[in-house]
Every structure is written in structure tokens, then in C-alpha cells.
Amino acid sequence: MEIKIIKTYKDAEQIWLGLEQEGHRRKVFRAVDEAQLGAKNIVAGLTIFEPGERCAAHSPPGSEEINFVVKGGGIAYDVTNKKETRFGLHDFMWIPDGVEHIHYNDTDEPLFLLWAYAPPGVLPTK
């Protein structure tokens, strides 16, 4: 094993999500996972939300999630506990296992959100 450099826009798996539902479209770059790098304990990547876009409610079964705001801001909606929290540039978010949540870009600028699930979890499909 050795250190690997993943070029986000060239090497990462590019996934469009939410195309079938208005306001849910976003671009996902899955950079670290078992299929690409042999990573057994984590899956990670970058999601870009344009203004007004959000993800579907999700909670990767058996995984904790951490997010880091690279650019932009928005709202984290904790569906499980019915609570909204604003996040901004360079904030971290920790989502415990079993907490269903939504990330929403309610700003006028793109949101770049770095995410990681450990142990590896399943991405939302919508």
C-alpha cells in the first residue's frame, strides 16, 4: 500500500444525483472507496450543491458521517430530531449513526461539501 493522490475532477467517480426531482440535483465526486482504492474503513468525496439544491433525507445504516464546508453555506436539517442548524464556510458537521438528515443550500452561491462515512456507508440515491 502507498499514498494515493486523487484528482477530484479527473479521478473520482462522478455521480449525478436527484435528476428526477426538482431541487435535488447535485454533482457528487466519490474519491475514496473500496472499488477505487481498496479503502475498507471509509468512503469519502465531495458534493457540489448549486443554490436551492438539497439532498434527499438519508442516514447511512451503521455509519457515522462527517462533513466539512469547503465553500458556501446552508442548512443541515436533522429529520430525526426536527431541528434546523445553519452551517457556513469551514464548519464541520458530525452526524451520528441513525440520524436522518438533509443538507440544503439556501444561499446564492454554490456549496462544496466534503463528506466521509465510517465505516463505509451507502450514498443517498435521490
Number of domains present in the structure of the chain = 1
Q: Is residue 8 part of a domain?
A: no
Instruction: For residue 46, give the CATH number of its domain.
Output: 2.60.120.10
Is pLDDT at 1 greater than 80 in this prediction?
no
Q: Is residue 2 part of a domain?
A: no
Q: Is residue 24 part of a domain?
A: yes
Is pLDDT at 115 greater than 70 in this prediction?
yes
Question: How high does pLDDT run on average in the chain?
Answer: 92
Is pLDDT at 41 greater than 90 in this prediction?
yes
| Whether 54 contacts 106, CB under 8 Å | no
- Which among 62, 28, 77 has a CA at the least distance from the CA of 48? 28
Q: Is residue 64 part of a domain?
A: yes
What average pLDDT does range 40-46 have in this prediction?
A: 95
Q: Is residue 1 part of a domain?
A: no
Q: Which domain holds residue 85?
A: 13-118
Percent of the chain with pLDDT over 90: 77
Is pLDDT at 126 greater than 70 in this prediction?
no
Q: Is residue 104 part of a domain?
A: yes
Q: Is residue 32 part of a domain?
A: yes
Q: pLDDT confidence of 4, banded at 50, 70, 90?
A: very high
| Integer Cα distance of 50 and 45 in angstroms | 17
Q: Is residue 126 part of a domain?
A: no
Q: Looking at 23-27, 62-66, 106-110, 115-119, which range is the least confident one? A: 23-27
pLDDT digits (tens, 9 = 90+) for 52-95: 999 989 888 899 999 999 999 999 999 999 999 999 999 999 99
Query: In Å, how far from its chain's centre is CA 90?
Result: 15
